[in-house]
């Protein structure tokens, strides 16, 4: 997408370097916050920040949008995996093995279907923007599911949001 932006073709490889640099401290930061607040609040925040990072280059197709989007994506993607696995382990009565296995399986399916879907959308729309919009919507759905689950579990007395 960055290569297709006017005057930004040289920024494409640089944007992935920014993603990698932002990823380096991310698990330490997210882990620190999870130790203070539990896993759900940081996970919701990370998903929201990632959604912002994914949609930013669409809304702001310039060096600022690409750079900030790269920082937000890089700073969240490993943290989301770590927090989600820890949350699955936390809510499972059996130590989380089945939950983690299911999450890993669905993640793998998503890693396969996501690029296929994005490629199909790219062929039809002739733009990466629609793929990024759809990816953002998936992240918003994930946030909605997490918040709904947290509210329901809190109403049932499980204190899901604060347990770690």
Please report the pLDDT score of residue 157 as a whole number: 60
E strand spans, the chain: none
Please report the pLDDT score of residue 160 as a whole number: 52
Backbone angles phi, psi at 146, to 5 degrees: -65, -45
Residue 96 confidence class, pLDDT cut points 50, 70, 90: low
**What's the mean pLDDT in 25-29?**
96
Burial 109-136 (b: 16+ CB within 10 A, else e): eeeeeeeeebeebbeeeeebbebbbbbb
Please report the pLDDT score of residue 164 as a whole number: 46
Residue 159 confidence class, pLDDT cut points 50, 70, 90: low
Closest CA to 137 of 61, 47, 40: 47
Tokens of 123: 């062929």
Report the mean per-residue pLDDT for the chain. Answer: 88
């Amino acid at each position: 997408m960055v290569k297709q932006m006017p005057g930004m073709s040289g920024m494409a490889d640089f944007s992935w370097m920014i993603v990698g640099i932002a990823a380096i401290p991310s698990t330490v930061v997210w882990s620190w916050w999870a130790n203070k607040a539990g896993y759900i609040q940081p996970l919701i925040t990370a998903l929201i920040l990632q959604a912002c990072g994914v949609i930013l280059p669409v809304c702001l197709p310039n060096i600022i949008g690409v750079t900030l989007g790269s920082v937000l994506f890089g700073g969240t993607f490993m943290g989301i995996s770590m927090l989600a696995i820890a949350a699955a382990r936390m809510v499972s009565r059996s130590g989380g093995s089945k939950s983690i296995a299911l999450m890993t399986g669905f993640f793998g399916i998503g890693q396969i279907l996501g690029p296929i879907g994005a490629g199909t959308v790219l062929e039809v729309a002739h733009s990466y923007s629609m793929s990024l919009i759809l990816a953002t919507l998936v992240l918003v759905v994930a946030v909605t599911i997490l918040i709904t689950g947290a509210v329901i579990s809190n109403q049932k007395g499980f204190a899901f949001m604060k347990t770690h």
